[in-house]
Amino acid sequence: MGRKSNGAVVFAFETCALDLIQATYEPRESPVDCDVVIAVPDSGMVVSLGYVTESGVPFKQGLIWSHYVGRMFILPTQTIRDLGVKLKLASVKAMIEGKRVMVIDDSIKRGKTSLKIVRLLKEAGTTEIHMRISSPAIIGSCYYGVDTPSSKELISNRMDVEKFRNYIGCDSLAFLSIDSLRKFTGEDAPGFCNAYFSVHYSVMPKEESR
């Protein structure tokens, strides 16, 4: 990810491409020493590819999803969501055994899938697990048409990052900061809704209606 002199945000697979269009690379947040980078498919794939291109850390397909199971966070009960994760997710031991692994995903809602991912990776023999999330922590529900959990169900609404890290059992956990999100969106930022991350709603909701 880079930025041009006019403030435009640019995404590129190679940092040399930023040089060609006279864009400046925007450094990543929360770096950590690791042996491989894996994505939570498919949501973390694009960010993972960008990270490995800039960092030089190899990408491995350490997790495999079944594409015949739908999105977990919109399923109606936790029992069904747990079953869905078991049916949908598998680790690839040969890719990650004995490795320090960085796991990248786009967001975390309830945290149950993250908990199971860490457990799977430990069972596969990883030596360290570092989770990086390419959005700020989601602490507020969406009341404008997106089907999301109520605020009280959102893990980051109830736990700070360190408590959350301890809960899922990984070695480190970091989210994109909301300041960086605003920086990347530039002058358009005031027009974007960030209530997911800030709970600053344009129209105050009635929580009990969720």
Whether 24 is in a domain gets the answer: no
Whether 7 is in a domain gets the answer: no
Whether 143 is in a domain gets the answer: yes
Overall number of domains in the chain: 1
Rounded distance, CA 71 to CA 52, Å?
A: 26
Whether 18 is in a domain gets the answer: no
Whether 5 is in a domain gets the answer: no
Whether 112 is in a domain gets the answer: yes
* CATH, residue 103: 3.40.50.2020
Whether 71 is in a domain gets the answer: yes
pLDDT tens track, the chain, 210 positions: 555 555 555 555 444 444 444 444 454 678 899 999 999 988 888 888 888 887 889 999 999 887 665 554 445 555 555 555 556 788 999 999 999 999 999 999 989 889 999 999 999 999 999 999 989 999 998 887 777 778 888 999 999 999 999 999 999 999 998 888 887 777 666 678 888 898 888 887 765 444
For 138, the domain range is: 29-209
Q: How many CA atoms lie within 13 A of 84 on its CB side?
A: 17
